Amino acid sequence: MASREIKIGGLGGQGVIMAGMIIGRAASLHDDKYATLIQAFGPEARGAACNAQVLIDDTPILYPYVRSPEFLVTLSQDAFRLFSPELRDGGVLLFDEDMVDPAGLRPGLRKFGVPATRFAESLGRKQVLNLIVVGFFTAITGLISEAAARKAVAETVPPSTLALNTRAFEMGLAHGRQLLSERGGF
């Protein structure tokens, strides 16, 4: 496998960095791959732009920065506006359809939306939208196995929130599977 470049963008407080950590952990600790994570965020903790850059490869990674993401996950309109021009030709956009309008996405890119904010609100906790997105990412991309993702979720989230976060992950996973089924595959 060639290096797979992933960028996750959103606002502080949406769990962008944790989503990147879970994806990288799943790949490196449970799927026998190599992964790196670079995170960037403003000095303001909540509400400021942030992003996580994840690389996954079968061989050691020598340069940890994402140059041209193959997969872009956007959880805010600002993240879409800032990062969608970086998406490589033939790339894939995954987005929170409650927060992002992907109008203007250039031709030749694939896009998959999930109502992550709405799903999180239905669970009674908006903060789990990142786990919904991780489940959705797992189903759509196939870059990490479902078993590895579940283990990484269990190891990363606080034990007191594991049941809720697992439900959120499963919601995103189910939505991704359903969307792929409706479209006839990736």
pLDDT of the residue at 1: 67
pLDDT at 44 over 60: no
46 pLDDT above the threshold of 90 = no
The 3 state secondary structure assigned to 77-117 is HHHHHHHHHHCCCCCEEEEECCCCCCCCCCCCCEEEEECHH
The answer, yes or no, to whether residue 153 has pLDDT greater than 60, is yes
Per-residue confidence (pLDDT) for residue 26, from 0 to 100:
98
- Residue 182's pLDDT is 94
- Listing DSSP states for 152-169 in one string gives HHHHHS-GGGHHHHHHHH
For 77-125, the pLDDT digits (tens) are 999 999 999 999 999 999 999 999 999 999 999 999 999 999 999 999 9
- What distance in Å separates the CA atoms of residue 148 and residue 119, rounded to the nearest whole number? 23
Separation CA 75–CA 8 (nearest Å): 8
Q: Decide which of 3.30.1180.20, 1.10.3720.10, 3.40.920.10, 3.90.1150.10 is the CATH code for 4-183.
A: 3.40.920.10
Among 32-46, 127-141, 144-158, 162-176, the minimum mean pLDDT is found in 32-46
Distance CA 54, CA 37 (A): 5
Pick from 34-38, 41-45, 173-177: least confident? 41-45
More confident residue, 43 or 159: 159
Using an 8 Å Cβ cutoff, are 70 and 91 in contact? yes
Work out the average pLDDT over 16-38.
Answer: 97
From the CA atom positions of the chain, what is the Rg in Å? 15
CA 128 to chain centre: 13
Average pLDDT over residues 124-137: 96
